[in-house]
Amino acid sequence: MTKEVEYFNVTVFGESFTLASDEGAAEMDDLVRKVDFLMRQTADRLKNPDAKKVAILTALKLARDVSFLEASAAKQYECGLGLIKRIERELAPESLG
């Protein structure tokens, strides 16, 4: 069952947008607040923060964070597989007798 698309009026980094999403209002509000916070944090670190530069630097930070999380998830997955194999070996009938 697909979620219904809703429209949200949001403001990010002083710019107003209308966004369409199947996320709920609370989730969308949380995402908008996070992006706005990150963009303002990025702007505070720049001498001449124009919106385009801030958006690009913020997108790069988010992409780096996603890459880190993907690598971490893959490592955890591999570790989990190793543990499952070890448990299976320990529980194999020939190791019980």
pLDDT tens digits for 6-52? 999 999 999 999 999 999 999 999 999 999 999 999 999 999 999 99
Beta bridge partners of 10: 17
Residue 1 lies in a domain: no
CA dist 41 and 93 (Å) reads 58
Residue 39 lies in a domain: yes
Residue 22 lies in a domain: yes
Render the burial of 39-64: b for 16+ CB within 10 Å, e for the rest: beebbeeeeebeeeebbebbeeeeee
Structural domain range at position 58: 6-96
Number of domains in the chain: 1
Q: Which residue has the higher pLDDT, 95 or 86?
A: 86
